[in-house]
Amino acid sequence: MRGPEGRPVALSRSRGLRFEAGAVSVLLLALALQAGLGMRLLNAAYDETVHLAAGYTYLKTGQLRLNPEHPPLIKQLCALPLLALEPVMYLGDPAWASEPPQQFGFGYRFLYANDADQLLFWGRLPVVVLSLVLGVYVFVWARALFGLAAGTMALFLYALCPNVVAHSRVVTMDIGLACFFVMTLYHEWRFVRGGGFAHLLGTGAGLGLALAAKFSAVLLVPAVVILLVVAASGPSCGRPPAAGSGETARSRLFDPWPLPGGAGIRLASLALAASVVLGTATVLVWVVYYLPSDPLFYWKGLRTVNQNHDPLFREYLMGEFRAGGWWYYFLAAFLFKTPVPTLIALVASVALLRRRRAGRWLDEAFLVVPGAIFFGATSALASDIGLRYVLPVYPLVFIFVSRLARMLRDHRAARVLALALGAWYVIGAVRIHPDNLAYFNELVGGPENGHKYLDDSNIDWGQDLKRLKGWMDGHRVEQIKLLYSGAGPPGYYGIRAEPVTAREWEVHPDPGWYAMSTQMLIRGELIARERRKQTNWLSRYRPVDRIGYSLYIFKFD
């Protein structure tokens, strides 16, 4: 049998499969290389000091005492490779014995009493793996919805997104949550499209893993239930398969709810499906928590969220400081830190959505409803300290915009524009490496101006001590005065550093070299406003150099 161009269908399909496998492999390799090469240059980000130590104590002692404000799963996964290394862990440390434990003190001593770089390398690898798994889900879901080209486009956007790369190489919960978030929704979508009981179990497993990864996953529970209700009560949403999607003709017969009958049967099937999902998730969370006897164990952990956050802390946005933050903080951060090509694609996709057939509304709901719930609730409830809190929304955005790939087949102008935007996207990814954490788009002047808009984990997480040492060696600076916002010890990396005194920071610096953390300089602006001190160095002095975007170098004679 031959296709419309006279080529054997089997040969064309074989070539398509090879292209698919090649494209996916190249893009996943690009993501792995960005994460792997970058993490070797960076010392521990502030939160990693606690998370890696906490995970190791969980595995060795079976006690979840350290860092209870986050569920244990990601910490456990990251600590698994450390079991083969057998690092020193001193449980006689007063920081461990105190009640509650002093988690940062214990984590600091655990990490730097051992080979910190080795522990960090192996501890970060599970996060890289989770990011790669998430990339596969992004590709598979976009391909199923819009075709092979769309799957490749979605994975391209995912693998080169600076925000994804930045958090794919640190021991934190954000990429893990995003992975299980998308896993849950994908399997639920497959189930309501007639995919069978295995996908219902996949939904429950994804939800359980998400809940065991980060407490903000509780926002996924209402989204899952709402989508089940909508699918069960709505009209038939059967549809023809997308061209090139790999779906069979059997897909055309799928109704949103596979069971026949009236409202009573649908209601019963809804209750059964919700019970399976929530029951599977509950059992999985219970196992991850080491089978606790207290039925309120998860609720008690949830109550500890943000317990170490000062309610009077002044959060920062666009040069202003405010206790309690802004309702639009995460929207602003999304606009500042999302690459412009992605924003253009998002606007075009929303415009294109108005032209879609009504029969596809359920597919759109699985992308829009959970993202809107998560983004809106996070904006209302979370501390304004980092875009990473809404990271699970990004994969849904990439899948949503991948619908544009279909336009490339029919419009030459669209192909030219796509090539230009794709080149812009690649250049941005290359230029920011390895400073992906500090990425800001061209709308705000790029990462050079990032400190004017956001702070904390958006730009400076104390990650550049190793690079500071390299800079000092290259410039033959034997000693430096350091004002640093991270948790790492400068001496561990061979840095001869003196702390910046209050007089030097607030009045006038003595002669010498100074390395000043971006986070501290931003906070210095607040001090200058409130206490009339001279701590706003970026407005008073011109730095002579910069280490990434987290440390500024000053020289005074």
Q: What is the pLDDT of residues 303-327, one digit of tens each?
A: 888 776 777 889 999 999 999 899 9
Q: Is the pLDDT of residue 3 over 70?
A: no
The residue with tokens 């003190």 is 105
Whether the predicted pLDDT of 358 surpasses 50: no
CB 231 within 8 A of CB 257: yes
Give Cα 279 to chain centroid, integer Å.
27
pLDDT at 491: 94
Q: Is the pLDDT of residue 352 over 80?
A: yes
pLDDT value at position 362? 87
Write the single-letter amino acid at 362.
L
What is the greatest pairwise CA distance in the chain?
Answer: 85
For residue 331, give both structure tokens.
């929207």
The answer to whether residue 249 scores a pLDDT higher than 70 is: no
Residue 210 confidence (pLDDT) above 90: yes
Kindly tell me if the per-residue pLDDT of 403 is higher than 60: yes
The whole-number average pLDDT for the span 484-494 is: 91
pLDDT attached to residue 407: 82
Give the contacts of 446 (CB within 8 A, at least 6 positions apart): 440
8 Å CB contact between 307 and 69: yes
Measured CA to CA, the distance from residue 401 to residue 395 in angstroms comes to 10
User: 325 vs 217, 375, 376, CA distance in Å?
Assistant: 22, 16, 15
Q: How confident is the model at residue 235 (pLDDT cuts 50, 70, 90)?
A: low
What are the tokens at 358? 């009504």
What value does the mean pLDDT take over residues 353-378?
Answer: 85
Contacts of 210 (CB under 8 A, 6+ apart): 177, 180, 181, 183, 184, 217, 220
Instruction: Read off the pLDDT of each residue in 382-393 and give the average, rounded to a whole number.
Output: 95
Residue 122 pLDDT class (50, 70, 90 cuts): very high
**Mean pLDDT, to the nearest integer, of 389-409?**
94
What does the angle CA 206 – CA 212 – CA 213 come to, to the nearest 5 degrees?
A: 90
How far does CA 422 lie from the centroid of its chain? 22
Give the per-residue pLDDT at 349.
93
What is the pLDDT at residue 477? 96
Question: What is the CB neighbour count within 10 angstroms for residue 533?
Answer: 14
**CA-wise closest residue to 514 among 491, 542, 488:** 542
Q: What is the pLDDT of residue 426?
A: 97
Do the Cβ atoms of 297 and 289 come closer than 8 Å? yes
Write down the pLDDT at residue 233. 75
Strand (E) or helix (H) holding 94: helix 94-97
Stretch 53-62: mean pLDDT, rounded?
Answer: 97
- The whole-angstrom separation of Cα 167 and Cα 179 is 12
Per domain, the residue ranges of the chain are 22-39+124-247+254-436, 464-556
Q: By the 8 A CB rule, do 112 and 214 touch?
A: no
